[in-house]
Amino acid sequence: MGVWESLRIEVPAKEVASTGGRKHVCVTGNWSLLGSWLVRNLLEKGYNVRCTFRTTVDEAAALMALPGAEQRLELTQADLLDYGSLVEAFMGCDGVFHTSSPSDVISNYSPEMADFEVRGTLNIVEACANSSVKRLVLTSSLAAMVWDQQRHAEKVIDEKCWSNLELCRSKKLWGPLTKTMTEKAAWSLARDKELDMVVINPAIVLGPRVFGTTQNIFTYLKGVTELPQSGLFAYAHVEDVAEAHVRALEATEATGRYICYETVVSEEKLVELIRKLYPDSKIPSRFSKNGVPHVLSNEKIKKLGMVFPAQQKLH
């Protein structure tokens, strides 16, 4: 049993009663842990959802089996590099969620991903600015904030922090590099176009998929080659990250960036957790067991009403 199965009890989704003035939203991206949970959350809240996921026939059928999907979920095709297809997908939508690059697998990025993600995200921003969209909620990553050798460990990492691009290039950290470049480019264009954009910067996203396997700590660690300085390892439950996105759309006062995480784990604690969850697994030698975690702040996102129930359960 993975860590999240031991912390959360799955509750069947309940259909939301029909209400007038229901909003239309679009969720862009691929078949990711976060994206599928976001679609589920929106349907539960009564939204009409247009989804541009690139899915298999089986995955599409699974999405359409969600409560409310038959009446309020539309699956369509859109290419991030095709501006016209994005404008068409956003037609009539009040809000857009761009979750194209799953923040839970940033360790698997290649050097070529940066150009693709930057261009695709800029197309999203441009299409939103030239359509009915009132707010864009963009998924970035905590990785766009924490990689900076000039930052002292005792300094609190908050929404003003950015990862250092040269450091990311020198260490070949293509995931953090891509996330940082993409978010900075998106902010620049959004301000130029006067588009209302809010960014969620989640930590590592873990939890059960809406359909299929669970993304747990060890699944993620199999792809990690290096931790940020001082052993920073923070994570959040996918259900909470999806809820944070919806609140970022709904809250009129939402603005700027929002760090979303539940718990920060030191390398020593991480090794203990791996041994507890996976006693037969070999501990990766890259973990020195003496890292001191950075101090992160998620106070801003709590002002949107977010609470993290699992935060006390791993201590």
Catalytic residue annotation: 179
Spatial separation of the C-alpha atoms in residues 18 and 8, rounded to whole Å? 28
- Identify which of 223, 180, 242, 199 has the alpha carbon closest to the alpha carbon of residue 33: 242
Residues in CB range of 5: below 8 A, 6 or more apart? 208, 214
DSSP summary character for residue 178: H
CB 117 within 8 A of CB 141: no
Query: Counting Cβ atoms within 10 Å, is residue 39 exposed (0-12), middle (13-18) or buried (19+)?
Result: buried
Spatial separation of the C-alpha atoms in residues 145 and 64, rounded to whole Å? 36
Residues in CB range of 101: below 8 A, 6 or more apart? 29, 113, 117, 139, 178, 179, 182
For residue 258, the Cα-to-chain-centroid distance in whole angstroms is 11
CA dihedral 259, 264, 266, 270 (to 10 degrees): -120
CA distances (Å), 110 to each of 60, 114, 284, in order? 27, 8, 22
CA dihedral sign, ordered 247, 295, 204, 119: positive
CA distances (Å), 219 to each of 43, 72, 136, 137, in order? 28, 33, 31, 27
Return the residue matching tokens 């929002």.
Answer: 258
DSSP string, 258-284: EEE-SEEE-HHHHHHHHHHH-TTSPPP
Return the residue matching tokens 């359960």.
Answer: 313
